Amino acid sequence: MKQSAKGVIICGIGGQGVVLVSNILTEGLMEMGFDVKKTEEHGMSQRNGAVNAQIKFGAKVFAPAVAKGSGDLIIAFEKAESLRWLEYLRPDGCLIVNDVEIEPVSVQAGKEKYPENLSEILRAEIADTIIINAAEAAFRMGTIRAQSMVLLGISVKKLELGSFAWTAKIRAMVPEKYQEANINAFQYGLSLV
């Protein structure tokens, strides 16, 4: 018998790999036999706009949207985006955050301030918070562009989904010239938990 439905939110800024990670995770979950529903919001992704995907999976899922206070996992590709989505996470959920700060246009224009002390705020709110410099880790694995795969590896481990052939799924969905670096970054993420 499969577990009860779980909710995952993936959030970040355009160009960080939110859509790729959500597609890999969704396809893998379906191949594992879960009922899966996904929704995406792209915003102004070409201009550092917010991008997010919500995924629910389980034995039977009726809608993709994760209700406030019910999410099991948030994968945040950017720190302020994690704060924006925090209310959707259960108090005992897991928060995975890329330790990168990208100022939105409103901050660059001086209309808003970027939140200070975000790491401390996030850790105070959610006990199971993992903050990692995924760019640095991905660079060590071959390319900074694979930082999304570091976050995916951590997420797969936290969701206890490691039995699936994720590296084959990455190989199928990532251009050939980036496959090895992305697989190495994914495996590095798995090893961190």
Per-residue confidence (pLDDT) for residue 48, from 0 to 100: 67
Question: Within a domain: residue 148?
Answer: yes
Only one residue has tokens 């779980």, namely 6
Q: Which range of residues forms the domain containing residue 99?
A: 6-191
Q: Which helix (H) or strand (E) holds 168?
A: helix 166-173
Question: What pLDDT, on a 0 to 100 scale, did the predictor assign at position 1?
Answer: 38
In whole angstroms, give the CA distance from residue 62 to residue 64: 7
- Domains held by the chain: number: 1
pTM of this prediction? Answer: 0.93
pLDDT by residue (tens digit) across 34-90?
999 999 987 655 556 789 999 999 999 999 999 999 999 999 999 999 999 999 999
Tokens representing 124? 């105070």
C-alpha span between 73 and 6 (Å, rounded): 8
pLDDT digits (tens, 9 = 90+) for 172-189: 999 999 999 999 999 999
Confidence of residue 109 (pLDDT cuts 50, 70, 90): confident
pLDDT at 2 over 50: no
Q: Under 8 Å CB-to-CB from 106, ≥6 apart: which residues?
A: 112
**Residue ranges with strand state E in the chain:** 6-13, 35-41, 50-58, 71-76, 89-98, 128-132
1 domain-assigned: no
Does 65 fall in a domain? yes
13 in a structural domain: yes
> The domain spanning residue 115 has which CATH number?
3.40.920.10
